[in-house]
Structure 1
Amino acid sequence: MIKLNSKIAPITLAVALAIAATSQASYAEEQQATKKGELERIEVTARKTVENLQEVPVAVTSIGAQELAENGISVMTEVQQFSPNTTLQASRGTNSTITAFIRGVGQQDPLWGYEPGVGIYIDDVYLARPQGAVLDLLDVQQIEVLRGPQGTLYGKNTIGGAIKYVTKEMSGDATLNVQGTVGSYNQKDLKITGQLPIVDEKLYVGFGFATLNRDGFGEFLTSALDNQDRENYNKDVTAARVTLEYTPTDDLFFRFAWDKTDDDSNAKGGYRLLPSLLTNAPVPDSVYDSYTSLPTWNKVELEGYSLTARWDMSSNTSIKYIGSSRESYSPTNIDFDNTSIRIFDVPAIYDDEQTTHELQLNHQGDNYKLVSGLYYYDGESCGQFQAILEELGKAAFAAPGLTREVSGCSNSTSKAAYIQGSYDFNDKWSMTLGARYTKDSKDAIVNNGLVLDTVYPESGWIPGYVRPEGKLVPTVLDDSKDWSRFTPRVGVEYQHNRDMMFFASYAQGFKSGTFNPRASIAEPAADPEVVDSFELGMKSEWNNNLRANVTLFSLDHKDRQYISVLPGDNAADLNQRLGNIGESKSDGVEIELNYVATDALSFDAAIGYIDSSFDKVIDTDPTTGETFDKSDRFSVANTPDLTFNLGATYRMYTEMGDFVANANYYHRSDYALFEEDSLLTQDSYGLVNVGITWYSTDGHWSAGLYGKNLSNEEYMIGGYQFVAPDPNDPSDVSKYTPGLGGDNTLIGYYGDPRTVSLTIGYRF
């Protein structure tokens, strides 16, 4: 087994917690403290209303625009270092597809039909698909990370938690902000944002534009195609936003927003961890170098519209409507074997559309708060991929090629009603009750079969290629199913004094049922996954300069959906069965501290520890029909036992302007990349980041110099494994038998290397 791993000793955890206890964390807000040397007030929207972070009985981290800027954070995946027990990473073969896990709950496979385990939201609009969800930060007010199932207020597919991207509401005079960045690997970014009042205090138009470019961290050393861009891990993104806000009266507010993103970055090539059996190319010297027989181009196109309308019926009651329409289109090239011949190539197309409507009623009385609403979702997720096994076709079938083509759609609707209220019995005790009823309907069609030729998704995919006319493979599944679910939340809060609150809660969430998008026969749908979570927490502030928030949690993850690979008649078969076969359990603690030592110096820390394991994984022997438990072969993927972030910030106020210097160390202990028989395990590692930001005295100019991953750590964030240990000598983890395609396909994808960037901004 390829193992880049060593267990964290208990003493390491003890030391980390001791350091955390004297430091801090959950830094998180763009506003500066109202008084020097004191904690700032942080407001969040975790319960769909604006509240003080310290009064919300939910494990939530909020990172504001100012902190994001002063840490040089430009993409949402970097937020993971501020939130305990959180994994946000770019998935495998593309820059824009997200892999999101919170508290050991998420979804690794981004294929259409599979539902996420962590919900992604932009201004309360749900993003149903992971493609394009690695958002570049543009005109952001704050990012909130809600940990634990959010099934009552946010609905299905938030069984791990939710990530909320909140943009700024407009107000004030006309503004124009221009920001340019240059950096390592020829990074050249330009961001332009601003607002213009059309009617003073009534009608505003806001805009944002960004072009983000960077050369590759590595290159494709060989390619079977001529005139290909050889850059690997490069970036070529253009994004735009336009917002129209109208406040006709003090009681009415309307916002119309449009956004569009085009990501023309190359497909990412993986690093071969084993020499190829079918080519002479050696394992590359750099983990960012690769080989390919596919085109290197890639594309992700996203576009969305949303309308928000709010009516404040009184000082205590408001009605809010949020409607949206989004679509994405992503043709992509993923070379699984990463060689210059067609051993296991997978060109694919993802095509998604969604429409959502939500009507909210918020009310606040003398001793209670109430949030309620109706929700409707209508989505269509379609796609196709071609598993090209050309070398196997030549060897086994004496054919010019061999392709398993899979295509189909997963269309779904979801209707829900929810209500959640908090009641204060007295000035000490309060209670929270919430419930949501959801009804899902899903229609699925899957086409799956073998073609004795090399087939691509469209004509012109490679130079001169013309796709055959007509349908190439049969329809193997055409079915529909409905599910319904009641998800409750119960909590009790105790306000010990003005600065300390304790809370205990039970919450349930579910991930929607689904059909197998790779089905080779007409198999039944998998039922929804369910998570039951218990939390015990404390929110506290001490002497107005130390904030300490602690959460203990325990969750049971039941009816886990999982693909079992079944043996076929020959090596070209991709027989896979989807079913509810697993149960896992996680227990952990999360500590977020923030300590303002002096007017100038502050410290922060975010620590998460989690103990996760599979309790039961029941499978069926396809030969005998007998069931058996294989939980000893399973790991909870993308979930380090220990994560922590320790940081310090120093502010200097001079006649030349204000300077903000910061540094942080982010640590992740070892973790498996796959659930079953993972051959890829990332060793524990740490990232050192530093930055210094300058603000001019007139408030117009700013500049920042930022260094990321200064120790140049190499760490895996994804991979593919299509090999197996040698059955004749399974104890020797250096020996493997070839997998699908007939080669040793064991591939790793890596996080960013050391980078340095300089950002200069001007505010007109």
Structure 2
Amino acid sequence: MVRYKRAALLCGVASLLFSGAAQAQQQERAQEQPRDTAPTATGIEDIVVTARRQRETMQDTPLSISALSSATLDRLNASQIDKIAQVTPNVVLSVTPGSLTALAPFIRGIGNQDPLLTLDSPVGIYIDGVYMGRNAASNISLIDIERVEVLRGPQGSLFGRNTTGGAISIVSRAPAEEPGGSARISYGRFEELKARVMLDTGRIGGTGIAIKGAYMRQQRNGYVDNPFAPSRNDPGSLRGDSAWLRVNGSYGPLTIDYAFDYSLMRGQQPGFQVVALSDTAAAFFGASPFFGGSAIVTGNKRLSTLPLRYTGLRMRNETQGHALTLEYVASPEISLKSITSWRKWTGFQPNSYTTPGMLGFVLDPVTYAPLGVEPVHTFYSDNRQRQSQFSQEFQILGKSDRWSYVAGLYYFREKVAEHNISYLTFPLPGPAGLNLSPETYYDGVSKSWAVFGQVSYQASDPLELTLGARYTVDRRRIHQDNPVSIGGAALERVGKSKFDNFSFNGTIKYRFSPEFMTYARVGTGYRSGGFNGRATTPTDPFAYRPEKATSYEAGFKSDLFDRRLRINGAAFHTVYKNLQVAQFAGVFSGSTRNASAEYTGFELEVIARPVSALGLDASLGYVKPRYKQFPYPDAADPLTLKNYADQGYFPYVPNWSIHLGGDYTVPLDFGKLVLRGDYSYSSKRHFFALTLPNANPLNEAIRDPGQNLLSARLSLSDIALGGAKLEASVFGENLLNDQLRTSGIDFGSLGFAGVTYGMPRRWGVELKVDF
């Protein structure tokens, strides 16, 4: 609490300083610009958001929130949502190597990197208000987006499944009133092609219906050469087709909106590169050339050539979603809304982490009798997953002169299943090995019910009070059937559980002047408990408890100097009880354990437009997490739990995140020239929570030392082309050619660990036509 009080004190001092400056400016200004209108040509864009289920500007919302408009997403060349982390403080969105669509989202240090289908994410991702149940299907394509909202901190009142880390809300663009459209195509290094077309019908006659459709094609060859595969199937290759459709019907007080999204992604995982071996594994795999086989590939830098086993199979992930939203405006003060949704995802993930042609001396896995020299593997898996979900939400929204409120009911039902067969060689001293094929199968059903509400009271012109609450009931069931790899005995378990939770938030918002607002917030969040579908032995923990968070936050938002300078900041302290920590210690051990921890940090975002031609933006995020309790089996006595709080890491979490960006516009007789540059930095991070003999002993070897990303874009836009407008751009990404370690896996008892590197330096050209 001491650290929180210090952070809150700093935030309060900053509030007083900025409020004084704002009040001085107010006396000098002859006329105040309305806050709910667009800024002047020299001002800063103010985005309307729905973070509190009501339409309000981002600067009026008493939350730590970042909003990225469609124009910002275009400048970032963002085709999938993982890109937004580069410009958003205290946000990490890492693409996990085992899937083309799996994402590991973290906000303020809280997230989940495990694609296990029975483990909920503490960061909720929403499309047009619909919760996406699985991280494994969340890295969707951004085809025609109006904005993306990033809400930091527990969201325990208004959003879907109730989350302890935050929420990412994707809002697609509504159909336009008039016909129109756009087309875009880009081509770059690694033969990367992106093509997108969008069409608007406008209102069709007297039907009241408007339709918007969009389609995008993505494809590229791999960015790592596998000599055993064609270039179109090299590691990192991709073939993707995505489509979005929105149909809007407007009938007086009634609005009907149907949304459909579809994505089919095929390709190869980024090259998994072995960087560390245990002594036993090094001795065993190192004997392969002696038997006439190939050597295992190791190295601590990104390789341009990486021999991997190639079967001709490609990853395949298919996602589709349907949502029907009905809104009825009963009066200017009251409206009713219904959101009905169904989503489905299937994934086929053949993962190869093995060098082909390796040979070794192997034993029978049951009798340990010598079998002689045979082909051996580091690791290969054939993983099939599927998920479907249905949700229904009812809302009532109201407002009066001083009151505004939202209340509702929520229901969610989800089915999941995973069948994973792995092929591996377990190294033994000697050197000898065991060729094994462990198998994992589970299926589960989750149901959730909730009633929620939030009310805001404008006590006076500068003072607003908000109170929200949510009561949730979760039921979970899992059926697990795992043959134990050694001995052949089957392990079958059925688990059932029920959890309930009451979450709340309270916010005080005070506006010192039209330019400066401060707020203080206390909020709680909850993540359902459940079962570990990856538990492979009777000693692995099967169940884990619900996670609960209490967050204290203070912040300010300011628009200064005639809206040429915007400074927003927030400080927070969050306490977690039963923090769910996924710990993968090898194919024979995987668990989700409950710990306790606290997180302290801050965010600062600055936007400046000193002149109309120049825009500058920067952000700084800092989070310092600390375990208070982290029980894990003692390496010397596996039946005894020891507290490793002082040795624990927070996976995928950098302490610091920094972004610097700017754009400069040069007017021309036939258009304008725009130069945009962005630099992002994140500090070092680990990929596993512990470094112990019985839990990821090679964790240090695969850690990410930090990332430096530089990108640039030069556009010639607003070129008249008949009745259309043309834009031509050249762009470059990762211009520093940084060695981006995006993820890492320590296979524990198998004796090897490796990392997946992000794409190297690349560049391209793009053409866009609006008509």
Tell me the TM-score normalized by structure 2.
0.85
1:85 equivalenced with 2:93 (yes/no): no
**Counterparts in 2 of 1:383-398, with a 5 A limit?**
383-390=418-425
* Conserved 8 A contact 1:32-1:40: no
Instruction: Report the counterpart of residue 381 of structure 1 in structure 2.
Output: 416
Rounded Cα–Cα distance in structure 2 between residues aligned with 1:85 and 1:565: 25
Instruction: Report the counterpart of residue 74 of structure 1 in structure 2.
Output: 79
1:46 equivalenced with 2:51 (yes/no): yes
* Conserved 8 A contact 1:70-1:704: no
Rounded Cα–Cα distance in structure 2 between residues aligned with 1:386 and 1:671: 30
- Deviation of 1:689 after TM superposition, in Å, equals 1.1
Q: Deviations over 1:458-484 (max 9, x none)?
A: xxxxxxxxxxxxxx9735211211000
Residue 524 to residue 97, structure 1, CA distance change in 2 (3 Å)? closer
Instruction: Report the counterpart of residue 330 of structure 2 in structure 1.
Output: 313
- Deviation of 1:714 after TM superposition, in Å, equals 0.7
* Conserved 8 A contact 1:171-1:201: no
Q: Deviations over 1:501-520 (max 9, x none)?
A: 11001111111111010223
Q: Deviations over 1:341-363 (max 9, x none)?
A: 42322211111000011111111
Determine which of 312, 319, 325 is the counterpart of 2:342: 325
1:684 equivalenced with 2:706 (yes/no): yes
* Conserved 8 A contact 2:271-2:757: no
Q: Deviations over 1:499-540 (max 9, x none)?
A: 111100111111111101022339652111111111000011
312-321 vs 290-299, greater mean Cα deviation: 290-299
**Counterparts in 2 of 1:608-647, with a 5 A limit?**
608-621=621-634, 623=637, 625-647=639-661
- Deviation of 1:338 after TM superposition, in Å, equals 5.4
- % identity of equivalent residues: 24
Rounded Cα–Cα distance in structure 1 between residues aligned with 2:192 and 2:327: 41
Rounded Cα–Cα distance in structure 2 between residues aligned with 1:361 and 1:37: 38
- Deviation of 1:630 after TM superposition, in Å, equals 1.0
State the AA in 1 paired with 2:271: G
Instruction: Report the counterpart of residue 67 of structure 2 in structure 1.
Output: 62
- Deviation of 1:414 after TM superposition, in Å, equals 0.3
- Deviation of 1:751 after TM superposition, in Å, equals 1.9
* Length, aligned pairs only: 689
Instruction: Report the counterpart of residue 595 of structure 1 in structure 2.
Output: 608
Q: Deviations over 1:600-656 (max 9, x none)?
A: 111101111111122221235594754421112211121211111111111222212
Instruction: Report the counterpart of residue 267 of structure 1 in structure 2.
Output: 269
Rounded Cα–Cα distance in structure 2 between residues aligned with 1:125 and 1:649: 34
1:236 equivalenced with 2:251 (yes/no): no
- Deviation of 1:272 after TM superposition, in Å, equals 1.4
State the AA in 2 paired with 1:497: S
State the AA in 2 paired with 1:660: V
Rounded Cα–Cα distance in structure 1 between residues aligned with 2:66 and 2:605: 8
Instruction: Report the counterpart of residue 518 of structure 1 in structure 2.
Output: 534
442-451 vs 78-87, greater mean Cα deviation: 442-451
5+ residue gaps, structure 2, are 1-13, 19-35, 289-294, 358-375, 692-698
Rounded Cα–Cα distance in structure 2 between residues aligned with 1:407 and 1:393: 27
SS in 1 for 2:630: strand
Rounded Cα–Cα distance in structure 2 between residues aligned with 1:763 and 1:318: 35
Rounded Cα–Cα distance in structure 2 between residues aligned with 1:187 and 1:573: 35
**Counterparts in 2 of 1:317-466, with a 5 A limit?**
317-337=334-354, 341-390=376-425, 401-450=435-484
* Conserved 8 A contact 1:299-1:332: yes
Rounded Cα–Cα distance in structure 2 between residues aligned with 1:311 and 1:711: 52
* Conserved 8 A contact 2:176-2:201: no
- Deviation of 1:186 after TM superposition, in Å, equals 0.7
State the AA in 2 paired with 1:630: Y
SS in 1 for 2:735: coil
Residue 691 to residue 563, structure 1, CA distance change in 2 (3 Å)? closer
Rounded Cα–Cα distance in structure 2 between residues aligned with 1:403 and 1:524: 22
Rounded Cα–Cα distance in structure 2 between residues aligned with 1:260 and 1:711: 35
Q: Which has the higher contact order (CA 8 A, sep 6+)?
A: 1
Instruction: Report the counterpart of residue 508 of structure 1 in structure 2.
Output: 524
Instruction: Report the counterpart of residue 548 of structure 1 in structure 2.
Output: 567
* Conserved 8 A contact 1:635-1:675: yes
SS in 2 for 1:178: strand
Instruction: Report the counterpart of residue 702 of structure 1 in structure 2.
Output: 727
1:746 equivalenced with 2:753 (yes/no): yes
* Conserved 8 A contact 2:220-2:232: no
- Deviation of 1:576 after TM superposition, in Å, equals 4.1
* Conserved 8 A contact 2:457-2:466: yes
1:497 equivalenced with 2:519 (yes/no): no
Residue 692 to residue 324, structure 1, CA distance change in 2 (3 Å)? same
**Counterparts in 2 of 1:284-323, with a 5 A limit?**
286-287=302-303, 289-293=305-309, 295=311, 296-323=313-340
Residue 563 to residue 552, structure 1, CA distance change in 2 (3 Å)? closer
Rounded Cα–Cα distance in structure 2 between residues aligned with 1:104 and 1:540: 26
Residue 631 to residue 222, structure 1, CA distance change in 2 (3 Å)? farther
* Conserved 8 A contact 2:554-2:572: yes
- Deviation of 1:394 after TM superposition, in Å, equals 14
Rounded Cα–Cα distance in structure 1 between residues aligned with 2:429 and 2:383: 23
- Deviation of 1:289 after TM superposition, in Å, equals 4.2
Rounded Cα–Cα distance in structure 2 between residues aligned with 1:228 and 1:437: 53
596-605 vs 333-342, greater mean Cα deviation: 333-342
SS in 1 for 2:739: coil
SS in 2 for 1:387: strand
Determine which of 666, 669, 681 is the counterpart of 1:655: 669
Residue 113 to residue 396, structure 1, CA distance change in 2 (3 Å)? farther
- Deviation of 1:369 after TM superposition, in Å, equals 1.1
- Deviation of 1:141 after TM superposition, in Å, equals 0.5
Residue 173 to residue 326, structure 1, CA distance change in 2 (3 Å)? same
State the AA in 2 paired with 1:403: S
Rounded Cα–Cα distance in structure 2 between residues aligned with 1:283 and 1:541: 52
Determine which of 735, 738, 754 is the counterpart of 1:713: 738
5+ residue gaps, structure 1, are 1-16, 22-30, 454-471, 567-571, 724-738
Q: Deviations over 1:31-81 (max 9, x none)?
A: 996422222222111111211111101111001001111232222111002
State the AA in 2 paired with 1:160: G
